[in-house]
Chain A
Amino acid sequence: MNQLRHVGKSVKRKDGPDKVTGRAVYCQDVRLPGMLTGRILRSPHPHAKIVSIDLSKAKALDGVKGVITIEDSKGIKHGFVETPRYPPDQEVLARDRVVHVGEEIAAVAAIDDITAQAALELIDIEYEILPPVFNPHKAMQEGSPEIHPSHPKVAEKESFSNIGGKTESGWGDVEQGFAEADYVREDRYESHLRTHGYLEPQVTVAHWESDKLNVWTSSMGAFNKRAKLAKVLDLPYSSVRVHKAYVGGAFGGKIDLYSHEFCAARLSMLTGRPVRFVASREEIFSAYRHGQPLVVELKTGVKKDGTLVAQELRIINNAGAYRGSGVVVVFLAWGFTMAPYRVPNLKYEGYSVYTNHTTRAPQRGHGCPQVRFAIESQLDTIAEEIGIDPIEIRLRNARVPDEELPNKDNVHQAGLQECIKIAAKKTNLVAKYGRDRKSPPQDTSIRRGVGIGISSYMSGTLIYPNGSGVIVKMNDDGSAIVLTGAIDLGQGAETVITQIIAEELSLDMDDIKIIASDTDTTPQDIGAWISGLTYVTGNAARQAATNARAKLLIVAAEQMNVTADDLYLDNKEIISQSNPDNRLSYREVIAASVANHRGDTVIGEGFWRTMRDEPNHPSLATTKGRWTENYAFSAQTAEVEVDIETGEARLAKALTVHDCGFPINPGLVKGQIDGQVSMALGHAFMEEVMTKDGYTLNTSWLDYRMPTIHNMAESEDADVITEQYEVGQSYRTKEVGEGLVSGILAAIANAIYDATGVRLYSTPFSPEKILKGLRELERHQK
């Protein structure tokens, strides 16, 4: 019997009413008595030595309660990655040297913003300017200004400068592969600098009280923040409590420890008063972390029928001033390369290069959009050169169910082939493809085109804290309290967890209240940033409910004089299948448990960890080890319109056909899809962080152009269901929250080519580039 009442349904969000009525408490709403305002002094130089800092005037200003520099820290470093190969590399405030504009040097806590700002202006710093470097290719050259020494393991073999880290991987024999290929092509693709665009700014409130640090901070995972804060403050985890607050978007930008979080904590410890930091939007654009622009040099060899035989990639990441997630993205770019298509011979090199830009963070997709844009663009070019259509070349190479990947991962019930077929059919792609290029319409300057892009994404991997726990506490009346460390940053984590527990325990959604994301009161959780929350925390929730359910059944069986396997749960009652009149309410069962089981109030515990047999995350340097146990797959098509006189292009329609395993909440899945289509079209046509000499030129929402509702394209989607959910069984859901920026971005590029014949090798797809391409085509035709 697998009739699901809650799971698989688009139930309304648990957080919806709070958010639409304005009751939801975000960090910025947290106001504590006596709270001070914090502000940060930032570097005006991209690269400079700090010769001296004079705080005396700032400290003497009326209303200033605390001023700190690195001297007020314990000097413990932190890093986005903290492994033996990549040990922590960042101080909490600059020491002796600054390596990007906006780097944090000192912080002030004062009674109000104006006083805090006045204090910053009274801090005297003497700098010795050092030469900066912004272009990763220049930074790699020997003799270029050294931001940090190249990683010793890289420096052993190569003479490049400023290499923060390198990923090298591959299999087979690429030389042999290219020799056997009927057609080989080399291209270079470049992506541009974009930012997350979270609407809620970075906010932290810290309050040191009774030897305990209480923190409210806008984040993507409370336990990761606690670990890093406790570490740099040299406090036991038990002395740091990260409280729950609603999060107004993150998209990868709120994972790592930020300097302002340390500053809030340290200043509160020094002043004994709560301290709040709110980053201005200008600070977020000019000094905080953005995504990662990659250069992808790509060589591919195919047989006449389109079968991939060899691929060689060299990826250069302009990774900014510290290691950040720069070394992660060059690892992930390998994964996003190898997951969707079979490539028997692969050679992969990814360099993470220090430059005097701000440090980089993951951004929704974390390298996948950049890589898929390159591979999918080139694949279309190759298909045309060898005379097959874009669907055929993809079907020829796409993974099939149960394939084992070279890293020993398995794609299980991969729905990629089906995704491609459905996308092709729904778009009528093969029939439409090339139409406006073959017979351009005469009465209009608008050209229409269609394109496809596919991608695959991992669904959870092993990064601290690696596992999630969930506790279900039954109340005497049969309702339940759920404790989970999961953070709901808009994706609907609390709703999905509630659905699962409601399903497993046959409760109504309203019978369940969630206490979430509080490091003192909830179990540890992996956080909402490795695309595994619904799978990992969801399975922990399912197990906790199963555990509570088993306890209820044992007690009920005793009371009802039947065996537990004769019983089933229905609407807060336990009923005998053989005699449906024999039934007990949860209230009665729990009372009996308390009475007869030494006060057991029925608490269910659940835990989950992905890849339970793997000790840790695969090597970032070599990719050895397993990466994930669930791969999501998708095929996306874009229909675009391009004005060939102005170069203006727009996405008219997007189609996403995806295999997320099984959608626990189809409405939330649809929300993720539409959000990613909107983000991809911003990526394609509008958004760009413009910089010059390390300074950011567009530091406002006005000039960093995110799409508005009017720009949103029609977005259709279709599920390819490859997994099932059954009560009492573990389940396999796949990622749906970030992988879908990628295929659609590539599809847009391919559709622009289809409309105009202009092949774009860099994002964004601006009217200038399209016009330039059209002019070149005209010259070529003459």
Chain B
Amino acid sequence: MILYDFEYERPGSLKEATALLNETGGDAQLLAGGTDLMPNMRVEVVTPSLLVSVSGIEPAAPEKCADGSIRIDSLTKLSDLVDAELIQNELPMLAEAAHTVASNQVRVMGTLGGNLCQETRCLYYNQKHDYQFVEPCYKRGGDCCYPFPGNDRDVCWAVYMSDIAPVLIALDAKLEILGPDGTREIAMADLYTGDGMNPFTLGTAEIIQAIFVPPVPERFGWGYHKTTVRGGLDFGTAIIVIVLQLAEDGETCCWAKIVYSAVGQGPLRPTTTELSMEDAVLDPALIAVAASQEISPLPHHGFNKGFLRENIRVYTERTLVSAIECAQGKI
């Protein structure tokens, strides 16, 4: 139950929505599927005075643009993303990642834009602070960090847990951002600040309008893995995305990208390891060791760093094997 009063508007277009957000300032929140915002309002992580609902705006179906890239409306429901034939055929990794989100009940409500802009999570932060953890933490405007009391002031190690963001980063997606002054385009990776206190680079009245995913090259391979405790419903313990392109010999890697989610303040990439994969015949076991050592997974939701690193190592190797086999046309 949300135990305070707030205003609610339901504009007919994103333009009106951004205007409303702009008028109200930081106290307003965009409401899409609500699957992230509503629980957070319930525990009063956020207490907006105005909700600007976009439920009256019908998203356009995913479509292929003239340059071969695919345009996906940010209001696309995750269940529609899973089911869209175009996505299944052209971007199967995206469909798979979207399918791992929560449960069907959540996916029919949750939108792609909302999934990318979900708040970071922490067992302490996502609590109602009426008699539990009464003092607010740094991220809630206070003066402490409950799980990591030794952290520097205003450092928040809540983790960013999107299942889909690492896929779009790996695919070099671009975001079309609508603001009060019109639209701008950014690379998917530039949506994130890497700072858990303020994870997104969006301005207060800015809305992701569309996501553009460029076509993948020949001999492209991908692998996706989400570790969870119980499969369905769960956020990831660790999420691993690997994409790569093989040379014509079917052995040499031209380039590769590894993106991790759920283990950092934003998506993480082991860039040095990625560089070592360029124009090389890959040894998945060695790369997995290097990548898992290069990043520093944040402990979260009861999982300690050592366990996460080991889980990431094992699944980086397995995911890489699978990406290579995919590029070789074996799967």
Contacts and interface: CB of A to CB of B under 8 A. Distances in A.
A698 B130 CA distance: 15
B132 A101 contact: yes
Contact of B229 (A113, A685, A696): A685
A114 B44 CA distance: 14
Size class of the contact patch on chain B: 20 to 34
B134 interface: yes
Contact of B123 (A287, A703, A767, A768): A703
B131 A101 contact: yes
Contact of A646 (B126, B234, B302, B315): B315
Contact of A645 (B131, B232, B314): B314
B307 A768 contact: yes
Given A114-B5, A646-B311, A768 B304 contact: yes
A129 B124 CA distance: 22
A280 B123 CA distance: 17
Interface string B129-160: 01111100000000000100000000000000
Interface in B39-61: 39, 43
Interface stretch (A304-312, A463-471, A704-712, A718-726): A704-712
Interface in A89-127: 101-102, 113-114, 117, 120-121
Contact of A702 (B5, B133, B233, B307): B233
Given A697-B124, A699-B127, A707 B230 contact: yes
Interface in A687-746: 688, 690, 692, 695-700, 702-703, 705, 707-708, 710-711
B124 A44 contact: no
Nearest to A287: B131
Most chain A Cβ neighbours within 10 Å, of B123, B124, B227, B304: B123
B260 to A, nearest CB: 16
A705 B234 contact: yes
Interface string B276-313: 00000000000000000000000001111001001100
B331 interface: no
A610 to B, nearest CB: 39
A282 B128 contact: yes
B253 to A, nearest CB: 23
A708 B132 contact: no
Contacts of B311: 646, 767
B232 A710 contact: yes
B230 A44 contact: no
Size class of the contact patch on chain A: 35 or more
Contact of B131 (A43, A708, A710): A43
Interface in A39-90: 41-44
A646 B228 CA distance: 12
A767 B1 contact: no
A388 B108 CA distance: 56
A286 interface: yes
Given A690-B123, A711-B231, A280 B133 contact: no
Contacts of A771: 307, 310
Contacts of B301: 698, 703
B235 interface: yes
B132 A696 contact: yes
B8 to A, nearest CB: 15
A686 B229 contact: yes
A707 B228 CA distance: 12
B66 interface: no
Contacts of A43: 131
Contacts of A117: 3-4
Given A280-B1, A698-B123, A711 B230 contact: yes
A396 to B, nearest CB: 38
A179 B131 CA distance: 55
Most chain A Cβ neighbours within 10 Å, of B1, B4, B227, B229: B229
B1 A705 contact: no
Nearest to B122: A697
Interface string A657-690: 0000000000000000000000000000110101
B277 to A, nearest CB: 22
A699 B314 contact: no
Given A286-B132, A699-B127, A699-B132, A767 B307 contact: yes
Nearest to B129: A44
A771 B306 CA distance: 11
Interface string A615-657: 0000000000000000000000000000001100000000000
A113 B131 CA distance: 17
B42 to A, nearest CB: 8
Contacts of A685: 229
Given A101-B131, A282-B128, A686 B310 contact: no
A253 to B, nearest CB: 19
B316 to A, nearest CB: 12
Interface in B48-102: none
A121 B44 CA distance: 14
B312 to A, nearest CB: 10
Nearest to A42: B131
B313 to A, nearest CB: 9
Contact of A44 (B131, B302, B304, B314): B131
Contacts of A120: 130
Nearest to A771: B310
Given A697-B123, A768-B304, 9 more contacts: A44-B131, A286-B131, A645-B314, A695-B132, A698-B123, A702-B233, A708-B230, A710-B230, A768-B303
Interface of A: 41-44, 101-102, 113-114, 117, 120-121, 280, 282, 286-287, 645-646, 685-686, 688, 690, 692, 695-700, 702-703, 705, 707-708, 710-711, 767-768, 771
24 contacts: A43-B131, A44-B132, A44-B134, A101-B131, A101-B132, A102-B132, A113-B1, A280-B1, A282-B132, A645-B314, A646-B315, A690-B123, A695-B133, A696-B132, A698-B301, A698-B302, A700-B39, A703-B126, A705-B233, A705-B234, A708-B233, A710-B232, A771-B307, A771-B310
The 3 closest A-B pairs by CB, nearest first: A697-B123, A117-B3, A44-B131
Interface of B: 1, 3-5, 39, 43, 123-124, 126-128, 130-134, 146, 227, 229-235, 301-304, 307, 310-311, 314-315
